[in-house]
Amino acid sequence: MIPEPKVISTTINGDEKQVLVSERDSLLEALRDRIGMTGAKEGCNNGNCGACAVIMDGRLVNSCCVMAVEADGSEVMTVEGLASREELHPLQSEFLQNAALQCGICTPGFLMSSYALLQEKPNPTEEEARFWLAGNLCRCTGYDKIIESVLTVAKG
């Protein structure tokens, strides 16, 4: 049986939104298929790749592993909310300048995880950055330029 749709209210990147979702939707599906915000990516849909990472009520989460109904009443920040109206976030410009992306599919997830890392630990060592970002898979870069970029931004 198709479950009854539900309305959730969630603040996304500062905008309050009422969204009609299926009870079976993950937050990732709600963002992508119901709201049409496709910055968060689906790489695995089971918590193993980090491409869908967003920040929910201050915590880094894989949005494929959060039910949309759980996000009712919460604040969600996605990659679309990282840049200000005027300029890119320093992580975004450093990733771009330093070629920390090739295909770019992992980039939204890495940016959100790196953002959360720098909130938690503004000055990580290389080892700390590598451990923190171990939940994000990148198949293109070998991670060098991603780690370098995060450390460069941390140094300011």
Partner 1 sequence: MVATDKPKYKIIGTRPARPDGVDKVTGRAQYGADLKLEGLIYGAVLRSPHAHAIIKSIDTTKAEALPGVHAVATNADFPGSSNTTEILEPGKANERWAADNILAGPKALYHGHGVAAVAADDMHIAQDALALIEVEYEILPPVVDVQDAMQDGSPILHSGLRTGVRAAGVDTKSDIETNLASHMRLERGDVEEGFKEADITVEREFTSSQFHQGYIEPQNAAAWWSMDGRLSVWTSTQGAFSARDATADILKIPVSDIKVTPMEIGGGFGGKIPIYLEPIAAVLSKKSNRPVKMWMEREAVFQATGPTASSYSKVKIGVTREGKITAAYCTFAMGAGAFPGSPVGAGVQCALAPYAIENQVVDGLDVVLNTPKTAAYRAPGAPATEYAVESVLDEIAEQLDMDPIDLRLANVAEEGDRNSSGTPWPKIGAKEVLEAMKSHPHYLSEIQGEDVGRGIAVGFWFNGGMESSSSARVNKDGSIALIMGSTDIGGTRASIPMQMAETLGVTYEQIAPQVTDTDSVGYTAVTGGSRTTFAGGWVAYELGQMIKSEMKERAAKIWDVDSGSISYTDDGEIVGPNDKDGNEQKFSFNELAGKLQSTGGLIAVSASSSHTTQGAAYGGHIVDLKVDRDTGKVEILRYTAVQDVGTAIHPSYVEGQIQGGVAQGIGMALNEEYYYDDDGHLMNGSFLDYRIPVANDLPMLDVELVEVPNPGHPYGVRGVGEVPIVPPQPTIRNAMYDAIGVRFYHNPMSPRRVLDELL
Does residue 140 bind ligand FES (CB under 6 A)?
yes
Which position among 31, 68, 138, 147 is part of the footprint of ligand FES (CB under 6 A)?
138
Q: Please give the Cα distance from 91 to 118 (Å, whole number).
A: 10
Q: Is 31 helix (H, G, I), strand (E, B) or coil?
A: helix
CB of 19 to ligand FES, least distance (A): 19
Residue 46's closest CA among 30, 64, 21, 22?
A: 64
Cβ of residue 95: shortest distance to partner 1, in angstroms?
Answer: 5
By CB under 6 A, is residue 106 in contact with ligand FES? yes
CB of 134 to partner 1, least distance (A): 4
Paired strand residues for 102 = none
User: What does 38 bind: ligand FES, partner 1, none (CB cut-off 5 to 8 Å by kind)?
Assistant: partner 1
CA–centroid distance for 117 within its chain: 12
Establish if 112 lies at the interface with ligand FES (CB under 6 A). Answer: no
Number of residues this chain uses to bind ligand FES (CB under 6 A): 22
What's the half-sphere exposure (Cβ side, CA atoms, 13 Å) at 67?
Answer: 7
Which partner from the list ligand FES, partner 1, none does 134 bind, CB cut-off 5 to 8 Å by kind?
Answer: partner 1
- DSSP assignments along 98-144, one per residue: TT--SS-SSHHHHHHHHHHHHHH-SS--HHHHHHHGGGS--SSSTTH
Interface of this chain with ligand FES, residues 49 to 68, rule: CB under 6 A: 49-52, 62, 64
What is d(CA 32, CA 102) in angstroms, rounded to the nearest whole number? Answer: 23
Shortest CB 4 distance to ligand FES, Å: 26
Binding site for ligand FES (CB under 6 A): 42-45, 47-52, 62, 64, 101-106, 138-141
